[in-house]
Amino acid sequence: MTVVILIGMAVIVFLTSLLSGIFGMAGGLILLWVLLFLFPVGTAIAIHGVIQMVSNGSRAWFSRAYIDYRILGILGLGLVISSIILLIVDYQPDIIVVSIAIGLMPILVWLPVSKLQLDASKPHHALICGLIAGALTVGVGVSGPTIDIFFIRTMMDRRKVIATKAAVQVASHATKVAFYWNAATALPPTDWISILIAAPIAILGTRAGNDILQRMTDQNFRAWTRWIVTGIGAVYFTQGLLKLI
């Protein structure tokens, strides 16, 4: 990577981590979109996982008092099961599939989930969430919107939602890094140096976002999350369609 790209990566990591620190997932979607321009799909997903592990890990640490470890454990089981299945079938990612799938994800945050009565605090719902999230995080690189629909209607406050989702995402990103490990190790040392320099900057962005989150109301948090994720999804979907032409 050139110095310009390194600086650009650092800025993008900070801003996307800031956004994720506030809303829990939007920043990760933007970061992956940028990485897909710079690397092959599998490599981009692996790099995204490394950076997001730092970002989500710091967010989980800052909000560790609010993590629900029971939910985390059940969701983690679902993640492992899904990743093993994809490993057995030798799944290989495709840029068109990834773009269109991520572009369609925002539909999930507009579903009448109150009628579906999805609730991550219920063990069987948490397991289903983990299975779906595991398939998506390995299959297309992100699963935030899917995880969100299992949390957005729970009785948990915004801080507990953000903290538990951050912990789940750490496990999720670790899973995809392991899945695409061969692609990640194929990167030149200079690229890894740039990534390792940029990754800690995610902590600064996450901390700033966490401070903003504390001043938001639950109503504003939920409303803004939907609109931001929908806008990002529209960009992905358009990109996927254009690649089909």
pLDDT at 209 over 90: no
**Average pLDDT of 213-220?**
72
**pLDDT tier for residue 5 given thresholds of 50, 70 and 90:** low
User: What 8-state DSSP symbol labels residue 94?
Assistant: -
Question: How would you write 14-70 as a 3-class SS string?
Answer: HHHHHHHHHHCCHHHHHHHHHHHHHCCHHHHHHHHHHHHHHHHHHHHHHCHHHCCHH
Q: Contact at 8 Å (CB) between 219 and 75?
A: no
**CB contact at 8 A, 99 and 239:** yes
Choose between 168 and 208: higher pLDDT. Answer: 168
- Token reading at 31: 């970061």
User: What tokens appear for 138 in the block?
Assistant: 């390995």
Question: In this structure, what are the phi and psi dihedrals at residue 42, rounded to the nearest 5 degrees?
Answer: -60, -40
What's CA 167's distance to the chain center, in Å?
Answer: 11
Instruction: Determine contact, residues 208/19, Cβ cutoff 8 Å.
Output: no
The confidence score (pLDDT) of residue 230 equals 82
Instruction: Please state, in angstroms and rounded to a whole number, the distance separating the CA atoms of residues 242 and 138.
Output: 23
What average pLDDT does the structure give for the chain?
83
Asked if residue 220 has pLDDT above 80, the reply is no
Report the C-alpha gap between 201 and 34 in whole angstroms: 16
Q: Which is more confident, 112 or 18?
A: 18
Residue 107 DSSP code: G
Whole-number pLDDT of residue 147 = 82
pLDDT for residue 162: 79
What's residue 132's pLDDT?
Answer: 92
On the question of pLDDT at 154 being above 70, the answer is yes
Per-residue pLDDT reduced to its tens digit, 74-102:
999 999 999 999 999 999 988 998 999 88
Give how far Cα 169 sits from Cα of 57, 81, 189, 229, Å. Answer: 8, 16, 26, 16
Predicted confidence at residue 56, as pLDDT, reads 78
* Residues contacting residue 183 through CB under 8 Å, at least 6 positions apart: 40, 42, 43, 45, 46
19-29 pLDDT tens trace? 876 776 677 78
Q: Which position has the higher pLDDT, 7 or 68?
A: 68
1 or 46, higher pLDDT = 46
